[in-house]
Structure 1
Amino acid sequence: MKLQFLKRWTESADVFIPSLLNGVLELGAQWLHGQHGNPLYYMAKERDLISNPRVDYGMEGTGIFCTDLGQLLNTDDINKVISYLHRIKDEMSDESLNSDELVSAQQIFRINFEKYIQSEECPPIESQLLWSLFNWYIKFEVIDNSCNDLNDISLLSYTQYSECHGIDLINFKDGYQTIIDSMINDIPRDVIRLKTAIKRIEICDKTFRVKLYVEEGKRKRIEIFDHLIITSSIGYMRKNLDTFFGFVLPQNKINIIRTLGFGTIDKIYLYFQNPFWKSEDQGFQLIWTQHNHNLPVWVYDMTGFDLVRGQSHVLVAWIGGNGAQLMEDVQSDDIVGNICAQVLRLFLRDVTIENPSKVIRSKWANNHYICGAYSNRSLNYQRLNCDIDQLSEPIVKTKHSNYHNKCVDCPLILFGGEATDRQFYSTTHGAMRSGQREAQRLIDFYQTVNLKPKL
């Protein structure tokens, strides 16, 4: 068995971490999430790739909270409201909760917030502004869950997910790519093939092997392998369900692929020749009170603009939901950047803010081999009583083992990727753990049948 890693990057992958000045910008994964029980953190720490998380850590959704009417909101009041919503989120993450009830995350947030604004705990803020703050928090959760609407998200997305304790937003010293490069150095170069697209997967019934229809540039060919571990995103598999699998996929796997949530998150990096913010600022969060501005609808799905570590001239806007996909469809980077500057001028009431001189943005929904960001547990997924472990079960073929003199189930097609990790879906450490799980499954198989694969 010849071991090979086939990975298809689109052309934009060449600027996954585009250089700007003396630092890096992350278009995709930004941080390591948590320390204890996080295998990727342990690996990165052992290889001296991460910054000291006690003094150099990430921040998001902080800074000046301002409205489209030019109001700068009271920090203490904002912190009280957000702390309450965080508390609701923590309660939703309690595994002991009955998550069998078909109720969306948005419903739970709203029901509890309605009680909160009637309580003495709520700060003296006018009702409209309170609900505007609530909407900002919901947009933040839409981005965090990688969904289009929090009404689509099941409580399972909170109860089944496990956090790794410790510091949450851990920076790499020189960007996320360094951990990938480090892993690649552990693997013989001749078994890694980039820009290789697997267009179709078939099973050779007579030989118990996997047939792949491969495209490498303009070259098309068929290749045969003993086993295949699929780590394609849920978004890609769903979009290509009818063509990617050239065999009858079990119905439970089809149901999971079709109903598992998978949305889009994008970042818009804005480089300003003359930064208008102060060195002590952390960011500018957008509290919309009305939607009658002469602006494209996608701007309302941005939560705000954060300062960027190591980049004194750069802000980053986070955007999710349908707005992220609409933003991607805008052809010109400059148009997107100029609109972002218009939003900043509106909220900060500062007409001197210039348009950015450089704009770099992600387009994950339009990346044909990813089709979004990462997975969540949707209401439709829960409604069909889906179980993610059914997706990670391999496609097997029964073959005779000379060693045991009996038939054994040979795992031909195995399923990995972040979505298949029961606890750590949506994370890079979940993706890593899923790959280790499937590799171990193959190791266990060969040990069981007393065979050694030829690597």
Structure 2
Amino acid sequence: MSILRKQPNVVIIGAGMAGISAARRLVDAGFRNVLILEAADRIGGRIHTVSFGDGNYPVELGANWIHAPNAQNSTFQIAEAIGALQPYRIYNSMSSRFLREDGVEIRREIIKEAFHIFNRVQDKVYRTIINERTKHNRIITLEPLLCEYLEKELQNVKADGSYIQDMQKALKAMMNFRRCYEGDELDRITWEKPEEEYNITEGGEVHIPGGYCQILNHIMKLIPKKSLMLKKEVVEILWNSEITEIKTRDGSTFKADHVIVTSSIGYLKKHHETLFNPKLPQINIDVLTSLELGRVNKIFLEFDQPILAPTYHSVAFTWDDTTIENIQNDWYKRIFGFEQIFTKNNTLLGWIAGDAAEYMETLSNDEIGKICAELLRKFLGNRNIPNPKAVLVSRWCSNPYVLGAYFHQTKRMIPGEQVIFSEPITTPSGGPVILFAGEALSNCCTHGARDSGIQQAERLIDLYMKKNIDGTF
């Protein structure tokens, strides 16, 4: 692209996937005055690759895999081009061995039938939730529909009592997995996507063995170092004139023609009243109130020797009862299970979601490790399993710059809210001053965030290309 006749100042708030992708697209298009302000001391946001456990490969505290790795997925394209996918592994949660509380494994034929039932029900819920909403004239969340449809399916299973009981346990475990996948308690979550968007994209879910940091570093490669400033927490955006001012906690002030805000939904929900001056339009505030950043965390356990291999590679916990009467006593019932990280021998990864994921952050790593070791002893039927030698736990809910895991819609839903939120906020003259980007605009915390950042960058590129062609500048 030719050099722009006018070089606008573009400030991007947040150096997560959306922010750095927007910056890269602008730089590639010839924008020279691009600045990223990041509150933390690192790039990545909810992508955080760290060293832990045995072996040379890292682990991911945040984003863990590429959803639907195919030619249409921009993140997968980068990972493939830079050779980041070796050794290659497609993730399949339902390959887990499902264990009861008495240490007995549920027979594989029961798990296979339960898996097919759960998939049918899940597919039906996603495809009919909008119709159910219309029928009942109220917002319907996932959990009541899932429970209703699963109960109907179970009535059609022809088997003895013990078979049904084991199947019910397996289905409860699958509900725990769904909580982790959707990002919160299922009675808090709804969606408004049309039926065709629920088609499962081919490709599964693929791990990046060397870490998502490789994708971040590749995107940053051509962004000038001066264009990134870390430890710059933005505290106020004054946008009521043609030139916007951005103030940071350390007293710095930056001027911008356009601001791309990529902060998490959780951060915006908490700070929007003081962050924007004047306040955001009411429709944007209403959408922020409606959207939610879910709660998901990871638990990494390192031992001196393999705990699951060679008999198991991953195990799912099938609780007799997943009801949580008291979060302090029962939080661990939201752990789906543990898997041996495929690039390591002695390190396990567990997932937990919802209220329990948030409560767990109040506990020490040592407490969490001891409880998880006791769960492994119980479900594996092996009292000789030691406590882990090291424990690492993500704490996304209490991270002050994130305040959650990944977004979902709620029963406060405003129809079309994602489209509403993706529209720029303009000055009286009509110029786009504030643009929002992030996973909330595209239903995915990794490649979706990247794509939304690029889309907002494209808006600015199109604007200035048109001005160049029209001879405005």
TM-score normalised according to structure 1 size: 0.87
Which of 326, 339, 353 aligns to 2:359? It is 326
- Change in CA separation of 1:164 and 1:87 when aligned onto 2, cut-off 3 Å: closer
**How many Å apart are 1:122 and its aligned residue?**
6.5
Partner-residue secondary structure (3-state), 2:218? helix
Q: Do 1:99 and 1:159's aligned partners in 2 also have CA atoms closer than 8 Å?
A: no
| 1:389 matches 2:419 | yes
**How many Å apart are 1:162 and its aligned residue?**
5.2
Equivalent in the alignment of 2:244: 210
Equivalent in the alignment of 1:369: 401
**How many Å apart are 1:62 and its aligned residue?**
3.3
Which of 262, 271, 283 aligns to 2:302? It is 271
1:161-172 equivalences under 5 Å are 161=197, 165-172=201-208
Give me the whole-angstrom Cα distance separating, in 1, the residues matched to 2:132 and 2:448: 22
TM-score normalised according to structure 2 size: 0.84
Q: Deviations over 1:391-448 (max 9, x none)?
A: 111111144xxxxxxxxx2111101001012xxx133111011001100001111123
Which of 147, 152, 156 aligns to 1:115? It is 152
1:430-445 equivalences under 5 Å are 430-445=448-463
Give me the whole-angstrom Cα distance separating, in 2, the residues matched to 1:310 and 1:281: 15
Using the TM superposition, name which of 345-354 and 12-21 deviates more: 12-21
- Change in CA separation of 1:437 and 1:260 when aligned onto 2, cut-off 3 Å: same
Give me the whole-angstrom Cα distance separating, in 1, the residues matched to 2:160 and 2:75: 41
Using the TM superposition, name which of 427-436 and 161-170 deviates more: 161-170
| 1:27 matches 2:61 | yes
Equivalent in the alignment of 1:51: 86
- Change in CA separation of 1:163 and 1:429 when aligned onto 2, cut-off 3 Å: farther
| 1:414 matches 2:445 | no
Equivalent in the alignment of 1:406: none
Q: Do 1:129 and 1:289's aligned partners in 2 also have CA atoms closer than 8 Å?
A: no
Q: Deviations over 1:256-302 (max 9, x none)?
A: 11111321111100001122322252211111114799983210110
Q: Do 1:273 and 1:357's aligned partners in 2 also have CA atoms closer than 8 Å?
A: yes
Which of 343, 347, 359 aligns to 1:310? It is 343
Q: Do 2:240 and 2:278's aligned partners in 1 also have CA atoms closer than 8 Å?
A: no
Equivalent in the alignment of 1:350: 382
1:232-243 equivalences under 5 Å are 232-243=263-274
Equivalent in the alignment of 1:403: none
- Change in CA separation of 1:266 and 1:308 when aligned onto 2, cut-off 3 Å: same
Q: Do 1:93 and 1:161's aligned partners in 2 also have CA atoms closer than 8 Å?
A: no
| 1:341 matches 2:341 | no
Give me the whole-angstrom Cα distance separating, in 2, the residues matched to 1:375 and 1:155: 11
Partner-residue secondary structure (3-state), 2:226? helix
Percent identity between the two aligned chains: 26
| 1:261 matches 2:295 | no
**How many Å apart are 1:127 and its aligned residue?**
4.7
Which of 167, 175, 181 aligns to 1:138? It is 175
Q: Do 2:191 and 2:408's aligned partners in 1 also have CA atoms closer than 8 Å?
A: no
**How many Å apart are 1:150 and its aligned residue?**
0.9
Equivalent in the alignment of 1:3: 34
Q: Deviations over 1:240-260 (max 9, x none)?
A: 122222212111111111111
Q: Do 2:180 and 2:352's aligned partners in 1 also have CA atoms closer than 8 Å?
A: yes
Q: What amino acid sits opposite 2:190 in the alignment?
A: S
Q: What amino acid sits opposite 1:105 in the alignment?
A: L
**How many Å apart are 1:57 and its aligned residue?**
2.1
Partner-residue secondary structure (3-state), 1:413? strand
Equivalent in the alignment of 1:198: 234
Partner-residue secondary structure (3-state), 1:255? helix
Q: What amino acid sits opposite 1:440 in the alignment?
A: E
- Change in CA separation of 1:184 and 1:175 when aligned onto 2, cut-off 3 Å: same
| 1:78 matches 2:111 | yes
- Change in CA separation of 1:438 and 1:411 when aligned onto 2, cut-off 3 Å: same
Give me the whole-angstrom Cα distance separating, in 2, the residues matched to 1:179 and 1:82: 33
Q: Do 1:9 and 1:194's aligned partners in 2 also have CA atoms closer than 8 Å?
A: yes
Partner-residue secondary structure (3-state), 1:296? helix
Give me the whole-angstrom Cα distance separating, in 2, the residues matched to 1:307 and 1:86: 25
Q: Do 1:146 and 1:376's aligned partners in 2 also have CA atoms closer than 8 Å?
A: yes
Partner-residue secondary structure (3-state), 1:240? helix
Gaps of 5+ in 1: 400-408
Q: Do 1:51 and 1:171's aligned partners in 2 also have CA atoms closer than 8 Å?
A: no
Equivalent in the alignment of 2:76: 41
Q: Do 1:157 and 1:377's aligned partners in 2 also have CA atoms closer than 8 Å?
A: no
Equivalent in the alignment of 2:222: 186
Partner-residue secondary structure (3-state), 1:156? coil
Q: Do 2:243 and 2:255's aligned partners in 1 also have CA atoms closer than 8 Å?
A: yes
Partner-residue secondary structure (3-state), 2:147? helix
- Change in CA separation of 1:317 and 1:10 when aligned onto 2, cut-off 3 Å: farther
Q: Deviations over 1:41-62 (max 9, x none)?
A: 1222222222375xx2223353
Equivalent in the alignment of 2:330: 297
Q: Do 2:127 and 2:198's aligned partners in 1 also have CA atoms closer than 8 Å?
A: no
Q: Do 2:334 and 2:353's aligned partners in 1 also have CA atoms closer than 8 Å?
A: yes
Q: Do 2:51 and 2:58's aligned partners in 1 also have CA atoms closer than 8 Å?
A: yes
Q: Do 1:338 and 1:355's aligned partners in 2 also have CA atoms closer than 8 Å?
A: yes
Q: What amino acid sits opposite 1:228 in the alignment?
A: V
Equivalent in the alignment of 1:152: 188
